[in-house]
Chain A
Amino acid sequence: MSTFSIVVAVVSLILGALLALLTIPVLVWLERRIASLIQDRLGPNRTNIFGFRLGGVVQSFADVVKLLLKEEYYPSHINMGRWLFMLAPVITFVAALLAFMVIPFADTLMINGEALRVQALPVGFSLLWYLAIGAIGVLGVIFGGWLSHNKYALLGAARAGSMVISYELALGLSALAFVVTYDSVDFNAMVQWQSGVFWGVVPAWGILVQPVAAIILIVALFAETNRNPFTVAEGESEIVAGYMTEHTAMKFAMYFMGEYVAMNTASAVIITMIFGGYQLPWVSTETMLTHFSTFALALMVAIPLVVAVLIRWMRKNNTVRPTVSTDGGRGFETKVLSIALVVMTLFLEAVLLYLGFFAENLVANTIAVALFQVAVFVVKLMLFNIFFIIIRWTVPRFRYDQVQHLGWYYLLPLSLFNLLVTAIIVVGVTS
């Protein structure tokens, strides 16, 4: 154990925790803003700290404070099961959180001949861990709904149970098809496999190699996260709030946040398994390391462009209409944020310039590439989360018998057939 390995392990753990927890307020805010923008509204954009509204993201923190201060209320009829009633949201939340921990954020670091995984939980059986821990989340839903002794909550719990039996099989079988293709249950190995190309030009991303399994996986993960079009367990238009009807204050918040952590985890799994994870298409880690100065130059051109677009967008949109007399500090905010962005860009440029053209330090280059991969991962993660959100505000909810029908009559045979074909092709290619 060298110092490097300890540092990398601690940093990956912190990174994993931050990526899972800090994205919750961002995702809640994104959900609300995107929903309103889709519906031609503005959404929460006013809460601020010292005039800084950051587009309204501060609202989520205000909401957390509100939920913390709310009255804890327990229905009087849950006498014996109170501890489980309290534990149920925690199960859902923790399961989603733990499942996130096996996602690799960057390629395995090779420092002084040591291979260090950039993974919060550096395990080689990541996919199995995800399937096992991720499936526990629904237990929290079922416990919570069942223990509420409430008709609606019980119906929600029953629906959650019916959901599990409809998607789990298809999920497992489509994941199996990927395991056969990538010849590994390790997420990191999967991403490395996907950084290659096939037929000379097409990036070997899972969605292009295994389109059917990819679609089944996405559908099944939508079901697993309890998001639209599979919100049958919550079913607010039919059964009040489903399993969480009786849960108040922080217990409700746990379910609520658990949903977003689960969505984040599902996005991470999807991009890791079928969208090339932390890799950009066509450039593998080795390419970036061997042509480091080219890579640094490309980044030095790209970063100012992105920042310029961002600042232009801010100056146009972080304003009020001409008819409104006061801008509520938005001009000031735009100015401060623009300066901060420019300073950050200059700093990054200086670092890249030094690393790319003056220092010949392989360790520093490796770390720079790893950080870049983390950034790519975060961008992809956010894009897929936005996709989740757009889908939610586009499609109506399935009835839960329709979900079962879909799972058993379409997804299951399709994934079985796909697995068979995959196996035949893989055996044919390798032998």
Chain B
Amino acid sequence: MPNVLISATSMIKIDRYYEYDLMDLATQAVVKLLEKTNENIKPDVVIFSNTYAEKTVSQVSLASKLCNNLGISAMPIRIENGDASGGAAVSTAYYLLKSGEIKSALIVGAEKMGDFPASYLNEIVSENLNEKYQEKVGLTTQSFSAIQMKEYMKKYGVTYDYFAQWPVYMHKYGSENPYAYLKFPVDLKTVKESQLVSDPLRIFDTAARADGASAILMTNEELGKKISENYVKVKAVGFSTSEFRIGEIPSVHGALKTLGDVKADLMEIHDSFSINAALILEEMGYPRGKSLDNLNEIPVNPSGGLKSRGYPGGATGIYQVSEITQQLLGVFPGHRISGNKGLVISTDELGTSAYTILLER
């Protein structure tokens, strides 16, 4: 089976773009991507990774519209799997390329979350809850996360300060990332005194919801080497699903297991909440109840993660893959971690599905 490469990546700064619509942002990411390739690319497949377009911009047929805007004819696919859409899109492209039936796939993640006040964003993100009961009775995902935190605090005897370490680290890294939405450092005191969202969850524990677009070009090895010398290999992908569960994220455990025994030099994980970061790290084998105490020793989220780099819904996983690719190539313009193997863990808001993507220089 052919080897699969990531031949080019691009990102725009995550921000609130009042002057641009969803397709504008997606197109900007593609234009930046094309500037990095030697050849005129005619992808066989175009995948649009997006979670909330029906509600945020009243749009469907995203991939077809993008193809038409770019003047290309390809197999258009829109992938929505909650905030794990990015992981789903890259995994799908991986298998299409492995089949040998296609030579290239352009994947564009784009999301528009910056136009709305917090209450409407809560409404949008509550689409992740179940239809029969949770969404109907007005719940928000923040309540689930707060309860998850309190159970963790009880089980391991930690206080809120334990969780506050995560946003401090994320903002430290994100303050060096030119693509980050909240590009500033914060101290422990600022985090601890920030707005209470759902006791004990504070605003700095949540994801910074904004607009973003990132594009990647995936190809087989033969074509990829013509396009650019700066590529990384997609070594493997894994995936799993599970229900929301207190004290663990079984989908992440399952997605890691399908990858086999992997030692990555660096990783980007989906820290929708600080507690999710702790639980994901613990599914990877970092000590339970202590994973956030040794963040200086864990090569995780040099981008600043969802806290600081920001959270553009279904584009998030595409950012993660772009970031790890640029890290492995030594060209990421922010905080650098060196290494040959990088891991992306792309999950949805509450971790009901997870994708793992292993990249290698």
Real binding pair:
no
Interfacial residues, chain B to chain A (CB-CB below 8 A): none
- Chain A residues packing against B (C-beta within 8 Å): none
